[in-house]
Copies of this chain bind each other. A is one copy, B any other.
Amino acid sequence: MAVNDGLSRLVARAQPRHRTTTEFVEATLREAILSGVIAPGTPLRQEELAETFGVSRMPVREALRQLEARALAEFHPHRGAVVAEISAADGADIGAIRMALEPMALRLSLPGLTAADLDQAEELIAEMDGEADPGRMGELNRRFHMTLYARAGRPRLLALTEQHLLAADRYLRFQFAALGYRPRSQDEHRALLAACRAGDADAACRLVEEHVGEAAEQLTAFLEGREAG
């Protein structure tokens, strides 16, 4: 079974240190969908998932409802849930949201950033230089961005930003596999970090907006080509 195959590995190594079974199932499924372990369009059969997780159908149902609210799964009444499809239009949608949220997060965070934060960001850039694995690269990229936003002091804004960084990751997987990492991305990361170190908020916000925008643009072009072909 395509679903169980990759997922059961995730389930096996997932620490069930969650307080309820529902939380455990939701977190693991979300990870699986965002990381691409379960492909878009895959039907999420309740019974099958329940068996994989070793629980009854009920916590699975509640978890699926939460995933629906996060736009990671689509419900069709009496026909079940499927993993949300990916499309060029949706990729552009997520890109637009990131272009709106991330400059705001950075602007709020910048004054509070410590030297340690900036050093950690620099270290993450260095790690990305030598990384080939797409999944790991996505995680490093996400951590780099979130490190810069961490001092915004706006929990909702940060949660929303991270959620859409994760959603973008899911998309970027497809691009990574075909084209490799976007070469200019690292240059942009370095320029962004330099602006943050200089405390130049306007420049930093402009850079992050351009950075996200270019990534989204290239992704959209790639996906449109994929849909056309």
Contact = CB atoms under 8 A, between A and B. Distances in A.
A97 B156 contact: yes
A224 interface: no
A173 B91 CA distance: 35
Interface string A138-159: 0000000000000000111100
A216 to B, nearest CB: 12
Interface string A82-114: 000000001011101101110110001000000
A20 interface: yes
Interface residues of A, number: 31
A77 interface: yes
A167 to B, nearest CB: 9
Contacts of A96: 104, 108, 154, 157
Contacts of A22: 65
A55 interface: no
> What is the oligomeric copy number?
2
Given A104-B100, A154-B96, A19 B77 contact: yes
A111 B127 CA distance: 42
Interface stretch (A5-13, A42-50, A68-76, A193-201): A68-76
Nearest to A92: B154
Contacts of A77: 19-20, 23
A113 B65 CA distance: 35
A117 interface: no
A77 B90 CA distance: 34
A170 interface: no
A204 to B, nearest CB: 15
